[in-house]
Structure 1
């Protein structure tokens, strides 16, 4: 589970560097913010699952509640990034988000 998060962080770093190379610092920061909006809630969700798995048997309701909180936190972090960073470059922010979202498929392909 944590290997996927490390893969997401690596892909987010590469994406931010490439966006920074094409667009400039504005693109790099926007891509990093877009990627962080998904990676941070995913990391917190994975830690929560790991802790709950050690204490007791995880339930389906707890998993779906955690997934809901993760999605809400992602939307909230995207809104916060748009509100606080006034120089957002929207295409690179969305590229950073989408590339990190697609890292899950790359992780499944790598383990198969």
Structure 2
């Protein structure tokens, strides 16, 4: 799971730089926050699964589904917090970076 999270982080940074060049500093921060709304919950989910696998030597489906449920809730809460708290939010950059980070695992499919 670590390569997926690192790829998401890298695509978030790249997307943020591109958004910053196009839309200025608010676009950069909006894209960065949008990507992080995907990267942070996925990283926490991966960490939780890793710890559960190390402790019990296997991960039950219930652990996975509970973690996924929490991840979705944290993602929605983070997106809502960014839109609500960041006054200069560029919604297009936010959503674009979120989608790019969300779909960045496709890059790993072509790695070999």
Normalising by the smaller structure, the TM-score range is over 0.9
Q: Give RMSD over aligned pairs.
A: 0.9
- Structure 2, unpaired ranges of 5+: none
Partner residue in 2 for 1:69: 70
Residues 72-91 of structure 1, C-alpha deviations (whole Å, 9 max, x = no match): 11000000001110111000
Partner residue in 2 for 1:38: 38
Q: CA deviation at 1:104?
A: 1.5
Partner residue in 2 for 1:20: 20
Partner residue in 2 for 1:91: 92
Give distance in 1, aligned partners of 2:96 and 2:48: 27
Q: CA deviation at 1:58?
A: 0.7
Paired residue total: 111
- Structure 1, unpaired ranges of 5+: none
**Normalised by the size of structure 2, how large is the TM-score?**
0.95
Residues 84-107 of structure 1, C-alpha deviations (whole Å, 9 max, x = no match): 101110000001100001101222
